[in-house]
Structure 1
Amino acid sequence: MRTSPQIVADKKNIPRDKTLYFTRNTLLAQNIVEYQPEMFSGYWVIVLITCFSLMCGVVDVVSDLVSNVSCTYYAVEKMNCTWNVVTLTPDLQFFYNNKTENILQPCVIYIGNGHTRTGCHLYGEEFLSYDMLYISFTGSYEGRPIKNMFLRNPGDSVTSQPPKFNITMKGDNLVIQSSHPNFKENCWLYYVHVSKCNEDGQLYTAVKDSNWSVNVPYDESCQYRVRVKANYTEFCGSGASDWSEIKEYGANNDPNLLVKAAAIVIPISISCCLIIALMLFRRHKDKILPKVPEPSLLFRDMFNDNKENKMSKELHVGQLYVPSEELVEAKLHVEPKSTLLHLEG
């Protein structure tokens, strides 16, 4: 029969040479029971407990080997457990098992820096099927063995690689198709963040039923920026991936570009046409507009007929010109015959 721990002695009545220590972390038994050793500060304490034989032993209540122990499940049958080293010890060992198993399994692949172990890579088991993961650290401190115990739920910290995705055009929509999760598909929810035209983005969701894709209305005048993140739902546990790298689709264009272009091009085109028309008109002006009598003279003749007739009479305009007779003297002077004529006679 397994019983809960009982404190049966204190500093006053326990001989120093018969003292059994317990860790101030969790102790593995039928249940994991957490103690607060600060309550017994300065005391030597004996704890009687029925427990698994491999987990019982003499440990130091004073020292912690590690702290901040966390385990992250990141791929099929793969999980990493990491910790911060509190007490440097050359013989630090990591052990783990499932609640249904009594045999501790040692870490095979350690993660660390030099000789300092800061993590363990676990593989080969479906850790998400564990109800709880029991973890034991062993080492020594000042010649005495130290054992720290921890209890972790693998489903409380699940992650994966950021989903890969493609962007395609289908009709008037953009189709964002993401890759499938590589484990526990029913437990994942994808967040698809889409922004356009440098505006604040909108968040879409994709699940297994939608084949991990979303449709987004497409505006040709905008550039779209897309990124995807996988979230492990609270129905199965907790955790998420990092955001994927941003992919861009299309280019930003001014929605009023055609109107602005028309407002610039049309006036320029009209101006050019007018200049060409004026040049052609000047060149062929005589053909296009031949000279005609000035109509104003006709109207002037009609209204000023009497006046002009009078002036014509005064100036003898319109009368036949009769030249005046030229007076010539009628005197005749007869010269005598030449002497030459007398001699010939």
Structure 2
Amino acid sequence: MERSVRLCGLWAMLLCAGAAATGAQPPVTNLSVSVENLCTIIWTWNPPEGASPNCSLRYFSHFGDKQDKKIAPETHRLKEVPLNERICLQVGSQCSTNESEKPSILMEKCISPPEGDPESAVTELQCVWDNLSYMKCSWLPGRNASPDTNYTLYYWHKSLGKILQCENIYREGQHIGCSFDLTKVKDSSFEQHSVQIMVKDDAGKIRPSFNVVPLTSHVRPGPPCITNLFFQAGVLYVQWENPQNFSSRCLSYEVEVNNSQTEMHSHFYVDEDKCQNPEFRRNNIEGTICFMVPGVLPDAFYTVRIRAKTNKLCYEDDKLWSDWSQEMSIGKKPNSTFYITMLLIIPVIVASAIIVLLLYLKRLKIIIFPPIPDPGKIFKEMFGDQNDDTLHWKKYDIYEKQSKEETDSVVLIENLKKASQ
């Protein structure tokens, strides 16, 4: 231990001597790194040894990729960053804030990624802040993770005194997720805050995965609430209340209008209050917004629904739409008696037609597919009957001849008897 201290001291003396020879400031000393909470990395150092008393020390620091440069008098620097990769900070000293001034030799300190197989860590770890009330995080299992892995999510943000564990683990198809309460931070600078996330398993067989979610990103509002619909001069006025916890200037809207007469679905995108109807203004309260839908038919029946999303005036993400609001209708509802009657009559007609077809199916089959005559039967009837008649007449002639012969013989004998007498 004493030998290493002596070596460090000797190294510092050599650096100071080299700096003095070149006219540059000596380097910082005792540069160290540590991790707080889940993803807060803190670098600390001591002022350089042998610095000139007339020097107003400033410290020049940047990360290994030369990004996020900073010159400040503080002897520490922190950064919220996911600990999934190796992160290094380089620090030097100088006597002013002038960037053209050559700083001292840069000292570097790194933090290594967590241990474990990188292919076992979860992937696509994403979190969405729903209606500024609760945060919902989801992920996919790692390629080399066991199917029966029991995952645990830990989270931390500035308003918490300690790291908490998420209890509401769920599965949606291949994704695994967890949701936890996260109400809006009551701080004027809440936009600068983040939620730190870590996902690992209970048995320690997979590599932990980290994420840092800024409170101004991935925010999804709740659905608006339609409060009033009104026809006037061929215009449909729509009024609604903003989702809870949001102001109008931070939201954009999509209004869907369905016309039952033309079966058309119209979509309108709204960024601000665009109507000045006094009918609404009398009841207008903070947190409501109004929109005019032109070219409507007063005799038609309309249904309206609305959804909202955040805009970039207040939040970074402007692609997460809320669920649709409940529909509200206005106008003359179409007469459903005719349609109900047709729905009842059409099945009866179809059933009757099927029964008639079944009853006359054999007759229809004969008409459509008449039987093919048998030639053998026709010839048999033609020649067979004639042979029978010929035999009949032949028998009759023989019988008649026999009768004549017998009659003639009897008559002859009687004549002979009379002549002899």
TM-score (normalizing by structure 2): 0.42
TM-score (normalizing by structure 1): 0.50
Q: Which structure shows the bigger proportion of residues in helix conformation? A: 2
Structure whose CA Rg is larger: 1
